[in-house]
Structure formats: C-alpha cells, structure tokens
Amino acid sequence: MEGLEPPCLAALDPKSSASTNFATSAKVIIRDKLFIFAYILIYLKIFRSIQKCNHY
C-alpha cells in the first residue's frame, strides 16, 4: 500500500552523537574526580586541625 508509511525521521549522525556522549561522560568523570579531590582536601584539613588540638 502506498502512502501509508510514516514519514522518515532524520536519525542522528552516529559519529556526532557518539562524540557528544563521550564528551558528556568525560565531563561527568572530571566533575566527580574534582568532588572527590575536594572532599579529600577538606578531610585532611579537618584531620590536621584535630591533630594540632590533641598535640600537647
């Protein structure tokens, strides 16, 4: 039957969508590593201040 098929939707270019997904993943990984690094720095700062208070 002719004329009953849905219009063809343009698909995303596989290269550009894969590139976008990789860039997004890389941003998330970098953001997570920065958060972990910040938490470690805060922990060390608190730990050192506690050690100074307990040191006679």
**Domain boundaries along the sequence of the chain:** 30-56
Tokens of 22: 């990789």
Cα→Cα distances 22→13, 16, 18, 26, 47, Å:
14, 10, 6, 6, 37
Segments in the chain below pLDDT 50: none
Q: What are phi and psi of 10, to 5 degrees?
A: -70, 125
What's the confidence (pLDDT) of residue 53?
A: 79
* Secondary structure class of 12 (helix, strand, coil): coil
State pLDDT tens for residues 10-25.
665 555 556 667 778 8
CA separation for the pair 11, 52 (Å, rounded): 62
